[in-house]
Structure formats: structure tokens, C-alpha cells
Amino acid sequence: MATTSDLQRNMLIMYNGAIHRVVEYQHSNPGNWRAFVRLRLKNFQTGKVIEDRVRAGADIEIISTQTRSAQFLYKDGDMYHFMDNDNFDQIALAEDAVGDRMTFIKENDSVDLLLLEDGNVLDVEPPTFVVLEVTQADVAVRGDTANNVQKNVTVETGAVVKVPAFVNEGDKIRIDTRTGDYVDRG
């Protein structure tokens, strides 16, 4: 069993019966009181961020995981289908388990699957940046050439992204999948 001295950022721990990711932690020793650790944790199932404090040196349960490379095959209704690149097993995940991170991933793109020890998929991690083609873009109006003017465009996966006015239909753009923001032309 590990203790609070073993904590690291982005570590997965079992806390109050649920799996949480350590967002932030800080050891504090206030004068003549007992030392404690302030925790900021993100719940994996709900996405809620909680803050709590625990006694310094308290036991924590670290969740061991492994990452595997997989290929996104297709979406069938509310199920996403992946193929493990190592053993070619097909994995089907429900839409609520995948979340909204798959909005920028097209078929045959590579993703990373975060697996628990028992082989169950905990999370799908898409690449940080993707290059997608703009399929629909509004025409920029004359005079809208200032740097801060943005418009909505639709990319080939169906996602809508805010981009500068100079981006046209047919252009390839780079998108940050963590935030859904336009980065540059691809």
C-alpha cells in the first residue's frame, strides 16, 4: 500500500470508492498542528473535480494501468469500435464511456486506450493534435480581416470549430483535441 508521500500529478488513485486522477496536491505542515496533504482530484466517471485534505502519511490505493495503442474503426449507433494494434482484438465502447473527445477523430485514426489491470478499458486518449479538412465554411465578409474576427466552420468529422476569417472550405486545419480550439493551418 502506498502513502501520500508517493503521490504524483496525473496518478490514478482509488478515493472514496471511485477512481480519481490527481490534478494537484500540496503537503502542508501548519505550525504545531498535524501535517496534512491538500488534494485536488478529478473523478473519472463523473468528471467532477473535488478538493479534500488527508493526514500526511495516510495510505492511498494507487490504480495501476497500462496504455495500448488502438485504431478507431467505426461508430455504430451509440457504440464506438476500436482494434487493438498488438493482438488485433476488437473492442466496443459505449458513447458515454468515450465522452466527447472522439468528435475530432475520424475512422482509421490511432488512439491510446487506458486499461486497468483486469483488461477493462478505463479511458480513450485521442492524439493531442489532429489535422482535419474544412467541409463547410461561411464566406468572410469584406472588412472582417481583423485578427480577432472568427467564424464557425464544420470539419470532416462533423464537429464545429471557431477559426479565423481567412480559413476557407477545403483548407486543412490543426485542432487541439483537449480544448477543441483551432491551432493553425495544417
Mean pLDDT of 76-98: 87
Strand partners, 62: 13
141 pLDDT exceeds 80? no
**114: containing domain:** 65-125
CA distance 125 to 177: 10
CATH (domain of 165)? 2.40.50.140
**Domains in the chain: how many in total?**
3
Residues 160 and 171 in one domain: yes
What pLDDT shows up at residue 172?
Answer: 93
| 107 and 86 inside one domain | yes
pLDDT at 147 over 70: no
pLDDT at 159 over 70: yes
pLDDT beyond 80 at 186: no
φ, ψ dihedrals at 99, nearest 5°:
80, -165
Tell me the whole-structure pTM to 2 decimals.
Answer: 0.72
Quick one: pLDDT at residue 173?
Answer: 92
- In this predicted structure, the answer to whether residue 148 has a pLDDT above a threshold of 80 is no
Residues 8 and 53 in one domain: yes
Element (H, E) at 98: helix 95-98
What's the pLDDT at 140? Answer: 67
* Residue that is written with C-alpha cell 474503426 in the block: 73
Tell me: do 82 and 116 sit in the same domain: yes
Q: Which of 125, 150, 170 is the last residue of a domain?
A: 125
Is pLDDT above 90 for 149? no
